Structure 1
Amino acid sequence: MIRIFKNYEGQKELQELNSIELESWVALTNPTSEELRNISDSYQIDLDDLKAALDTEERSRLENEDNYTMILVNIPVVREEDEKKWYETIPLGIFITRKVVFTVCLEETNILKQFIDGLVPNFYTYMKTRFVYQILYNNATLFLYYLRVIDQRANQVEEILHETSRNSDLIQLYDLEKCLVYFTTSLKSNEVVLEKLRKHIGLKHYEEDQELLEDVIIENKQAMEMTYIYHNILRSTMSLFGSIIDNNLNQVMKFLAAITIVVELPTMISGFYGMNVNGAGMPFSQSPFGFAIISVFSLIVCLIAVYILKKKNLL
């Protein structure tokens, strides 16, 4: 899908156009091969570069060609299935030509939707460099927002695990940790692109653009630090609950072993009297109170065993 937008000078409202004009913004969302080919032929943009933004495994990078500058960054997205949410990253391609700014992405993203809905102040399609920096700033702030959501979700799961150690909750912690791994990798590669942009001289800068870029770099670094902190906390939490589960299992096994010992003692005594031997040699075999005496003796042996096991903290 292709949508075309433009701010006319003197007007703040974003207009949607039917055809590409000078100093407009062309948003390509999951475009077809034919749409990519038409853009490539019309604006001399390498087709492979356009397709790179549709490859989920593509790394972030900055490339300066004769007719355009390509900025490829990773952006966070939310996935939902079976009432479960998880977070990953996909590439967003930004192509700056002399006349038009193109964005290419696999799906509609909140980062670009904010521009379409008029939620970004001082946004003008003819200020191409500022527009790009505003996209990157929104990207960094969206990373920060999702990181806070992940942290809140991790805290909720942790509270549940304090009461019950279900496998599904542990799997949720693992999924959240996996999301943070994706974020860490993406933010690091985005940082490389931002540092290159700081030194890049091919883009025309407007007033305050450099300050905006510095804000983007700061936000990205803050997101990286938060990701690192949350990842370490989550990993420590999973390790702690793993140790608690192992310890609880050891306690249960120890208790069951102690109970087995106590129960085995009267069974062993009764087993002696169940042997097929002459009863004359068995104590109390001729006594009318033999059963009661043996039962009391077995109970005393069990109580002694319980006392010894308690003293050794086995019960």
Structure 2
Amino acid sequence: MITKYKLTNSIDFISVNEISDSDINELTNNYNITNEIIEYATDMKERPRTEYIESLDSWLIVFHVISNSSRINKVALPVTMVLSDKQIILFTTDKTLYIEQYFNEIRKNNYTDVTSWGIYFQIGDEVSEDFVDKIEEISDKRTIIQRRLAKRKIRDKEILQLSMIQEEISYLLTAVNGNFLLLKEAQLFVKSSDMENKVTKQDIELINNAVIEFEQIQKMTELLGDITDKLSNSFNNLLNNQTNATMKVLTIYSLILSIPTIVSGFYGMNTFLPFADKSWSWIFSLGLVFIGVGIILIDLKRRHFM
């Protein structure tokens, strides 16, 4: 579906959501959008990138935003933008359609001293807040698991949740790193001599803010990943300690229970044994058991096994 309106007096905005065949025909005929751009816009695995389209005198920009998908591997999805001096075309899906609201807010705020590049950088700043919210959401989930670790209430459920959090952070960090490099590249570009007369002071201020925000987000995501990895290591250490403690108890029991088995096995054989013909022989056999168990317990204690 295609939606059109003016962002500023000099910049038109075209929003394309869930592009259809009829949309492709309209974009091709009315806006000279090529099949290559369509492929970028529909590729949900496209990495953040910037490319100049000479035939349109426009820039193709792909950047990642937080999606509304519940799937971990789709925590961030690409959004494609075709940007020129007079026009911005935005390609979204149902999972990223909310980005259009940020453009609508720009229209309501009546930006005057800003170019299409400045609008892109303002959107980047808005997107950064979504990443911060997602990081805080993941951090809250990790904190809950961390509290259960402190109480030593570890179950398979928590282990699975922690694994999913680590996977989610990996996808998130990939998107953050891609956006940060994209903005750094754009920052160098808009400050070059070629763009000196095409961008305003406000544009420069907006790109600087966006770069600073994503640099902080990058550090936040890396820190969250490090803390989660350490929590995972603590999980593993605790589980190993629990396993070792269980094996220790089982070893002690197996050693202790082997003594009665050995003694009763000897006295159960059809051979001559000392005091086997006495009425109190069972007391004698019990004494051998207690002595054997006592020797093993003393030896285990001496070796600090207990």
TM-score by length of 1: 0.84
| Pair 8,111 (structure 1): closer, same or farther in 2 beyond 3 Å | closer
Choose between structure 1 and 2: higher helix proportion.
2
How far has the Cα of 1:64 moved from its partner? Answer: 1.9
Aligned counterparts of 2:185 and 2:8: Cα–Cα separation in 1:
31
Aligned counterparts of 1:4 and 1:73: Cα–Cα separation in 2:
21
How far has the Cα of 1:120 moved from its partner? Answer: 8.7
For residues 127-160 of structure 1, what are the alpha-carbon distances to aligned partners after superposition, in whole Å with 9 as ceiling and x for unaligned?
Answer: 5232211111111221122112111211111222
For residues 267-308 of structure 1, what are the alpha-carbon distances to aligned partners after superposition, in whole Å with 9 as ceiling and x for unaligned?
Answer: 10111011112xxx3222222211122213312322332232
Aligned counterparts of 1:220 and 1:100: Cα–Cα separation in 2:
25
1:290 corresponds, among 281, 294, 300, to 281
Percent sequence identity is 21
1:197 corresponds, among 182, 186, 196, to 186
Aligned counterparts of 1:158 and 1:237: Cα–Cα separation in 2:
7
CA RMSD of aligned residues (A): 2.5
Aligned counterparts of 2:303 and 2:66: Cα–Cα separation in 1:
55
1:256 corresponds, among 230, 239, 250, to 250
Bigger shift: residues 24-33 or 209-218: 24-33
Where does residue 163 of structure 2 map in the other structure?
Answer: 174
Aligned counterparts of 1:141 and 1:186: Cα–Cα separation in 2:
14
For residues 6-62 of structure 1, what are the alpha-carbon distances to aligned partners after superposition, in whole Å with 9 as ceiling and x for unaligned?
Answer: 3576xxxxxxxxxxxx73321111111331232133112222213312212111111
**8 Å CA contact retained: 2:7, 2:13:** no
Where does residue 69 of structure 1 map in the other structure?
Answer: 59
How far has the Cα of 1:187 moved from its partner? Answer: 2.0
Where does residue 91 of structure 1 map in the other structure?
Answer: 78
Q: 1:261-272 counterparts in 2 under 5 A?
A: 261-272=255-266
Q: 1:4-23 counterparts in 2 under 5 A?
A: 4-7=4-7, 23=11
Question: Aligned pair 1:145/2:136, yes or no?
Answer: no
1:41 corresponds, among 20, 23, 29, to 29
Aligned counterparts of 1:29 and 1:270: Cα–Cα separation in 2:
82
**8 Å CA contact retained: 2:8, 2:110:** no
Question: Aligned pair 1:80/2:73, yes or no?
Answer: no
Q: 1:196-215 counterparts in 2 under 5 A?
A: 196-198=185-187, 199-200=189-190, 201=194, 204-215=198-209
**8 Å CA contact retained: 1:140, 1:219:** yes
Aligned counterparts of 2:11 and 2:232: Cα–Cα separation in 1:
51
> Gaps spanning 5+ residues in structure 1: where?
10-21
Misfit runs of 4+, over 4 Å: 123-127
Aligned counterparts of 2:134 and 2:73: Cα–Cα separation in 1:
10
Where does residue 267 of structure 2 map in the other structure?
Answer: 273
1:239 corresponds, among 233, 238, 256, to 233
Q: Secondary structure at the match of 2:5?
A: strand
> Gaps spanning 5+ residues in structure 2: where?
none
**8 Å CA contact retained: 1:129, 1:204:** no
**8 Å CA contact retained: 1:154, 1:234:** yes
